């Protein structure tokens, strides 16, 4: 099999970076080619993040060849560019298990390997972490190197610049490598990206500079003047001045796929003191033509045949993201006040049609969740109706803005929260396990959790029409298969639905677990309720159920601590109503990656797990 490392003579003998450093420099290009081919065939066989890792093959080889890892620290940001790093650090035999239950972690993880200096999943954390490591190393008197590799649009986030700004005040040795591939998951956006990817990669500056040197080389009396002109020109067209004003020595841009250039340049920078930034220009999907042409489609792939040079046709199943995307276009056509906002998740949240049909009302802010939330707040202040489409785990990064800028001011913003609950292969960094808990405590917000596609569409309409802050949280992937329709009708706020009347036990399901609750309810002759609203609760119905049932079971695809079930218990306690109550959800632990069905079993949220917990 082409995904068997034994088929690659040099790579087969590389079990750690020490073995890599035992190669002659002349052998590195061959290793580089083998590594790229191995990645292509392996990920085609098992699926996973694809194009980002292909773009960092040469850089990964160069870094592990030149630095004494794991004593020297390399922090990869964002994590899906680290597949080549996993291969070269003893995990190539297990690469085909990546993202699968009990398999390799999808991103660098300190629990998986001593070579993974820092766990990453969300972007733009590397420079802060690397700076902290450099400070600690200096305090101990260690001479180790610390390198942050930041790419795939991560430099568009404010946190990266906060770290750069702080580094200028600290006398530590830190190398930042900006992997500039003009992409995040979607196309990169923003003024900085235009700087890095368009102007800087052109020939204007280098040609002007070299031409000027030739003209002025025999005129020593004006050499100082020429240098000042050069620096002024550099400031106009290059980010070097920007980074140098922050206290970094800027070098680049250089070709990130030219291995000899990388080895020489990084080798030279190793010996420099203080904060350094190396600007490397790469191609996402390098070495696999379809991925180079369409790096978005090949960002993360299912299994496919690389010889066919195309991905298999997607299964035509409607996902919750698709429901949102269609609703957004329908509502935008009806209400011109609607504005759509996403933090670099156009494809993931399915704003593709909206971005095409409503260009003037579409705003991709880049990897900047805090800005996305406050941008929505500002729009609402001026009478717009912003809809912020954001993943549950990414909203965590805009939490202060949700409280301070939106809810506190009672602003009219709808949050369409995708990827709530267990998301599968992306694991603990991306599970939407906490949104009900961290939102429920905020005043001035209503929170809805649909149990199927039709309810999702109705709740989006309800939240949009509500004059205030509203959130609809829905899971990743497909739903029940029910036709969501094309109506823009709302539902009564705070009203639950009794789906089945039974005896003794009342199952209160919040959102996606309703289907499992109904099956269990049928077997146990229990009452089943689609709660729909986490805030406000249907307190009248809950009170009624306590009079006719001996036990209440709450079910939610969220952390039990502080979640929807806790809201029910708090209400009952406030009314001094005593009844046996048990909360089913995600226990007080981080859930790792794996097949969604496996994860539901692990959490006891599959049908058998729910029945067992009730009987216990």
Residues serving a catalytic function are: 284, 369, 397
For 109, 136, 179, 182, 288, the CA distances from 283, given in Å and listed in that order, are 25, 34, 9, 8, 10
Task: Name the DSSP letter for residue 143.
Answer: -
Cis preceding-peptide flag for 433 (omega within 30 of 0):
no
Eight-state DSSP code of residue 60: H
**Interacting residues of 125 by C-beta distance below 8 A, sequence separation 6+:** 77, 118, 159
Sequence-distant (≥ 6) Cβ neighbours of residue 391 within 8 angstroms: 345, 348, 349, 417, 418, 419, 430, 432
Q: Do you find a cis peptide bond into 281, omega within 30 degrees of 0?
A: no
Q: Which of 37, 120, 22 is nearest to 73 (CA)?
A: 120
The C-alpha torsion from 432 through 53 and 102 to 117, rounded to 10°, is: -80
Specify the 3-state DSSP secondary structure of 371.
Answer: helix
DSSP 88-125: IIIIGGGGGGTTSTTS--SS--TTT-TT--S--SSSS-
Q: Are 443 and 407 in contact (CB under 8 A)?
A: yes
Give the position of tokens 């949700």: 402
Rounded to whole angstroms, the Cα distance separating 610 from 600 reads 10
* Chain Cα centroid distance, residue 263: 31
Strands lying side by side in the sheet with 385-391: 362-364, 338-342, 385-391, 414-420, 469-475, 445-448, 533-535
Q: Which of 599, 389, 353, 593 is nearest to 474 (CA)?
A: 389
C-alpha 187 chain-centroid distance: 15
Alpha helices in 246-368 (DSSP H): 259-270, 289-293, 320-334, 352-357
Q: Determine contact, residues 393/429, Cβ cutoff 8 Å.
A: yes
> Residue 204: how many CA atoms within 13 Å on its side-chain side?
10
Angle (CA) 208 212 213, round 5° = 120
DSSP type of residue 421: B
Crossing angle between the packed helical segments 259-270 and 28-46, to the nearest 10 degrees: 110
């Amino acid at each position: 099999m082409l995904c068997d490392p034994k088929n690659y003579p040099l790579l087969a003998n590389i079990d750690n970076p020490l073995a890599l450093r035992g190669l002659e420099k002349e052998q590195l290009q061959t290793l580089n080619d083998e590594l790229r081919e191995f990645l292509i065939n392996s990920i085609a066989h098992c699926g996973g993040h694809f194009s980002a890792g292909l773009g960092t093959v040469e850089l990964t080889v160069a870094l592990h060849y030149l630095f004494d890892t794991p004593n020297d620290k390399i922090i990869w940001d964002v994590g899906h560019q680290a597949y080549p790093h996993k291969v070269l650090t003893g995990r190539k035999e297990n690469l085909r298990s990546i993202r699968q239950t009990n398999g390799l972690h999808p991103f660098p993880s300190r629990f998986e390997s001593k070579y993974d200096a820092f766990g990453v999943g969300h972007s733009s954390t590397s420079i802060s972490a690397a700076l902290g490591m450099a400070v600690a190393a200096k305090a101990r008197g260690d001479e180790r190197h610390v390198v942050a590799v930041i790419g795939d649009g991560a430099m568009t986030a404010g946190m990266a610049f906060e770290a750069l700004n702080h580094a200028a005040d600290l006398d530590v040795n830190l190398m930042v490598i900006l992997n500039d591939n003009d992409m995040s998951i979607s196309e990169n956006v923003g003024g900085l990206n235009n700087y890095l990817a368009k102007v800087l990669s052109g020939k204007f500056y280098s040609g002007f500079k070299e031409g000027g040197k030739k003209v002025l080389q025999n005129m020593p009396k004006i050499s100082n003047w020429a240098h000042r002109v050069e620096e002024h020109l550099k400031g106009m067209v290059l980010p070097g001045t920007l980074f140098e004003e922050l206290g970094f020595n800027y070098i680049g841009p250089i070709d990130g796929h030219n291995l000899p250039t990388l080895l020489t340049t990084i080798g030279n920078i190793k010996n420099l003191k203080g904060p350094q930034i190396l600007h490397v220009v790469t191609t996402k999907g390098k070495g696999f033509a379809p991925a180079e042409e369409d790096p978005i489609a090949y960002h993360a792939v299912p299994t496919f045949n690389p010889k066919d040079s195309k991905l298999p046709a997607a299964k035509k199943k409607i996902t919750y993201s698709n429901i949102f995307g269609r609703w957004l276009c329908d509502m935008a056509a009806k209400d011109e006040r609607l504005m759509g906002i996403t933090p670099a998740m156009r494809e993931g949240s399915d704003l593709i049609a909206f971005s095409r049909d409503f260009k003037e009302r579409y705003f991709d802010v880049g990897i900047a969740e805090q800005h996305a939330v406050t941008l929505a707040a500002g729009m609402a202040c001026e009478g717009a109706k912003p809809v912020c489409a954001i993943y549950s785990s990414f909203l965590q990064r805009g939490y202060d803005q949700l409280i301070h800028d939106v809810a506190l001011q009672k602003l009219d913003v709808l949050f369409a929260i995708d990827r709530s609950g267990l998301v599968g292969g992306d694991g603990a960094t991306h599970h939407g396990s906490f949104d009900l808990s961290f939102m429920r405590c905020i005043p001035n917000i209503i929170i809805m959790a649909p149990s199927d596609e039709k309810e999702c569409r109705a709740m989006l309409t309800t939240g949009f029409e509500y004059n205030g802050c509203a959130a609809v949280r829905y899971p990743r992937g497909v739903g029940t298969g029910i036709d969501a329709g094309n109506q823009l009708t709302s539902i009564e706020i705070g009203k639950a639905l009794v789906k089945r009347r039974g005896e003794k036990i009342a199952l209160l399901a919040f959102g996606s677990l309703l289907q499992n609750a109904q099956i269990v309810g049928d077997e146990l002759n229990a009452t089943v309720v689609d709660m729909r609203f986490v805030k406000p609760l249907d307190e009248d119905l809950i009170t009624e159920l306590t009079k006719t049932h001996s036990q209440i079971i709450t079910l939610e695809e969220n952390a039990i601590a502080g979640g929807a079930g806790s809201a029910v218990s708090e209400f009952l306690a406030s009314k001094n109503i005593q009844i046996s109550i048990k909360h089913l959800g995600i226990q007080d632990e981080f859930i790792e990656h794996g097949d969604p069905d496996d994860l539901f079993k692990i959490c006891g949220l599959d049908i058998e797990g729910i029945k067992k917990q009730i009987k216990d």
